Amino acid sequence: MQVWADIVECWVRGENARDVIARGKAKIDEAAHDAEGMNL
């Protein structure tokens, strides 16, 4: 949910959210491979 909030915040400021999306995807991919589960 935090990634979504960060994306919306970029849009509100009129900025491109491309970097935020890339970081969010990387964080989700990392968590998906974490033995402890989705510890975001």
Q: What per-residue confidence (pLDDT) applies to 33?
A: 79
* pLDDT category of residue 35 using cuts at 50, 70 and 90: low
* Cα gap 40→31, rounded to integer Å: 7
What are 13-32's pLDDT values in tens digits?
Answer: 999 999 999 999 998 888 88
Nearest to 15 by CA among 2, 6, 3: 6
Mean pLDDT of 1-23: 93
Rg (CA), the chain: 12
